[in-house]
Structure 1
Amino acid sequence: MAFTTALSGLSAASNNLAVTGNNIANANTTGFKKSRSEFADVYANSLGGVSAITPGSGVRVANVAQQFNQGNLQFTDNNLDLAVSGEGFFTLAASSDPNDINDRSYTRAGEFKLDKDGFIVNNQGQALLAYRPNGTEVSDGFSTGVLQTLQINTISGQPQATDRVDMTLNLDQSATTDLNPTFDPKDSDSYNDQTSATIYDSFGNSHILTTYYVNKGTQDDLTGAVDALGDPIQVPTWEVSHYIDGNEPSNRVPLEGGEQFATLQFDSVGNLKYPVNGDGVVDGLVDLQAYSIQPDTGAEPLDISPINYFGTTQFKQKFSVNTLTQNGLPAGQLTGIDIDDEGAVFARFSNGGSKTLGQVALTRFSNPQGLAKLGDTTWGQSANSGEAVAGEPGANNFGLIQSGSLEASNVELSAQLVNLIVAQQAYQANAQTITTENTIMQTILNI
């Protein structure tokens, strides 16, 4: 009878209204993916098959399919708000225990924050999973087969001992050579110029490295260059002495070979000519002996190898320090978290240092519509979704990470409102079918 056919139509229209209403309700839900009702007709089969004149037995809901097309990106002021621009899902530890990383779920909603223990989690307390870094720098790479949670508040900026200083100077070509013959850092008449740099030991304590420059006039070219008669060529020469934390003899730091000073030599146009490396190429590198800090604090000896003078010149200009950098760091406090478009997570510290904490792990599926709906804008792997394929942002067709933004719902309200009208009309039409069938039945019964 047409009653059952109309009832199936009412049920289908009701399902369509419910799905459309759910889409509208979640129009502002971050990472939400709209759904649509998909229907199939119903026929009463027999051993002989379906007759050519069988009118059909109604309709059934074949599937409520989610549509995983990209939502618009909305920018925020929170670096931990993340969006995937392209394919892929964030990977979450589905358990309430952030360290249980084998019970996983997946989401496009990137509203992440720190919990009381410093883990990066979503609003449901599920921890964001990332690949373990192989070192402290991005260039060290990531172990894409090893997932971990990201814990922030236990991190501090580790101090880093200085082991390299880079200086670019200009030594005045017209500087006097009429100096006291015996160098003494306490006697300013025994040297031409000096400069200082702050360096750090293994505990992050600061120390002062002072360098003194003495113009020695022209001397034999230490590169071995000779003139036409085979005599050593005379070139402008400067001697450099290095002291740490004072100007007493005990503060002097000899070169690695035991020499008390380094020698800088220049060519006829004022460019650095010596030191050279083993191949005779100018490198400007000077290695110092390890200096034991006094008084003894337990810190490792300062081993500055090298001091790099490459790029230093001797022009007729006043002494100047053009660049002066060193690679040490004091201890520091966490000041912020940065995440780049390839998902690398960095901790920034007050000492100017940074540390790579991991790389956001993305996952994709051959059939995302087959994912199990878990609620809270998360999904789980199922038999219909296919196997989870893990990957890195920006590689192998995975999307890029946009920090400081969220992916909005992909619901188009105007389209949903039109669909609401269509579903309502279908519901009313099926109800009218029941009314018509009831009128016919009443007519038959009144005969």
Structure 2
Amino acid sequence: MSYATALSGLAGASKDLDVISNNIANASTVGFKSAQAEFADMYASAMTTAVANQVGIGVRVSTVAQDFTEGSITSTNRDLDVAINGNGFFELSQNGATVYSRNGQFFMARDGSIVNADGLHLMGYAADANGVINPGQVVPLTIPTTDIAPTVTRNIGLSFNLNSQDPLPKTTPFSPTDPQSYTGLTTMPVYDSLGGTQLVNIYFVKNSVGSWTAYGTSGTPPTPVGPSANGSLGTITFDTGGNVTSPNPMSFAFTIPNGADGGATTQPLTLDLSGTTQYGQSTGVTSPPNIDGAPAGELERYSVGPDGVITGVFTNRQSRALGQVVLANFANPNGLTNLGNNLYGQTVEAGVPQVAVPGSTNHGQLQGGAVEESNVDLTSELVNLITAQRDYQANSQSIKTQQTVDQTLINL
């Protein structure tokens, strides 16, 4: 029996060495979780034997438990490197089946889909052309490779200060070609439905302290716009504190020739002058114009936020959501089965996957431009390696000792 006992010890020590060696081999594997061999003693079954008289018959490996504590997070500055800070696993599609991983090294394939090094698709919620995320279905995530369509300008926001000490214009009436007929001027680009641009000029003419008239022109040479033939948009009045008293609301509506059809139709615009003041300071724009609309744009860069939203920034200065990464969590992660290639499979012991967006209850947040290193502690593993080696040597010595005893008996 002592031979069998020692042999079980050798098998256990060998299994322990296998686990430790695997940990050391994967010390640099992104997202790898270290494991530990756990053992249980064995006794012969005998219901009538007193506990004090029982002699063990060896050891067995009861389980190989993985340590799912988080590894350190290292910045890589790659757009599609993503680390999980907390609980959860990435969902990946493998030939239609769902598998799970902590390795967040992803790439954009030729067709725009987000994949790992083995070509498995990252799963999440898709976004439509307007950047609205659909949380109703988990699908393979894709980054658009085509240009986004232009959007037409409808609104212009402009804050201006009109100097109360400016003199009246030297010439009248207002003429866009005569700088002495107006006091202030600002020029802004607007976009038609095809993404073409044309300039809109807004002029301010002082009538008296507290009263100014706004005019508008577009194109080259400047053509008057607005409800009147001379381009007058309306009169702005101020109180003695420099605040607007009329119009209320502080906006003007006008139209310009539509560049999308060569001017055959008109493009309506609204000029919002909220925040405009009349102080004794120089005349000019007090904040950058806020103009909607944009030309067509190409994807310039993208990033993954803590909530898993992939945001794309385009060459036309627009940004929108391209999709959202989801995470799956399990009641018993140790019940997952290792599939290799940094992948895990669901089992009954692991429980049903709880799929949610990062940052929700019991789901970690994401960190873009970073990866989660393996949680292997090399110092501890090297000490464990020495311990396992000594266990193996000691069990070998048990066999050697038993062999010596047997030889003594044979020699009698």
Scaled by the length of structure 2, what TM-score is found? 0.92
* Alpha-carbon shift at residue 163 of structure 1 (Å): 1.6
Distance 2:196 2:333 in 1: 54
> What SS does structure 1 have at the residue aligned with 2:16?
helix
Q: Which residue of 2 aligns with 1:63?
A: 63
Distance 2:242 2:42 in 1: 93
Cα 1:37–1:294 shift into 2, 3 Å: closer
> What SS does structure 2 have at the residue aligned with 1:409?
coil
> For residues 90-109 of structure 1, what are the structure 2 equivalents within 5 Å?
90-95=90-95, 100=96, 103-109=97-103
* Structure 2: gaps (5+ residues): none
Determine if the alignment matches structure 1 residue 415 to structure 2 residue 380: yes
Determine if the alignment matches structure 1 residue 428 to structure 2 residue 400: no
Distance 1:186 1:108 in 2: 66
Cα 1:439–1:361 shift into 2, 3 Å: same
> What SS does structure 2 have at the residue aligned with 1:383?
coil
Aligned Cα RMSD in Å? 2.5
Query: What residue identity is the alignment partner of 1:287?
Result: A
Q: Which residue of 2 aligns with 1:165?
A: 156
Q: Which residue of 2 aligns with 1:72?
A: 72
Query: What residue identity is the alignment partner of 2:235?
Result: T
Cα 1:294–1:125 shift into 2, 3 Å: closer
* Alpha-carbon shift at residue 297 of structure 1 (Å): 4.7
Q: How many residues align?
A: 410
Determine if the alignment matches structure 1 residue 240 to structure 2 residue 224: no
Distance 1:11 1:301 in 2: 86
Q: Which residue of 1 aligns with 2:111?
A: 117
Q: Which residue of 1 aligns with 2:247?
A: 275
Scaled by the length of structure 1, what TM-score is found? 0.85
Distance 1:368 1:359 in 2: 23
Distance 2:330 2:90 in 1: 12
* Alpha-carbon shift at residue 160 of structure 1 (Å): 2.1
Q: Which residue of 2 aligns with 1:313?
A: 277
Distance 1:50 1:57 in 2: 16
Give the number of the structure whose residues are more often strand, by fraction: 2
Pick aligned residue for 2:238 from 255, 260, 266: 266
> What SS does structure 1 have at the residue aligned with 2:149?
coil
Q: Which residue of 2 aligns with 1:391?
A: 356
Greater alpha carbon shift after TM alignment, 432-441 vs 410-419: 432-441
* Alpha-carbon shift at residue 405 of structure 1 (Å): 1.2
> What SS does structure 1 have at the residue aligned with 2:236?
strand
Q: How high is the sequence identity, in percent, across the aligned residues? A: 36
Q: Which residue of 2 aligns with 1:2?
A: 2
Query: What residue identity is the alignment partner of 2:125?
Result: Y
Greater alpha carbon shift after TM alignment, 352-361 vs 182-191: 182-191
* Alpha-carbon shift at residue 253 of structure 1 (Å): 2.9
Q: Which residue of 2 aligns with 1:213?
A: 204
Cα 1:446–1:320 shift into 2, 3 Å: same
> What SS does structure 2 have at the residue aligned with 1:302?
strand
1:228-252 Cα deviation digits (max 9, x unpaired): xxxxxxxx22121222224565x51
Distance 1:132 1:329 in 2: 23
Distance 1:286 1:73 in 2: 53
Pick aligned residue for 2:403 from 433, 438, 441: 438
Cα 1:301–1:91 shift into 2, 3 Å: farther
Cα 1:288–1:42 shift into 2, 3 Å: same
Cα 1:285–1:118 shift into 2, 3 Å: same
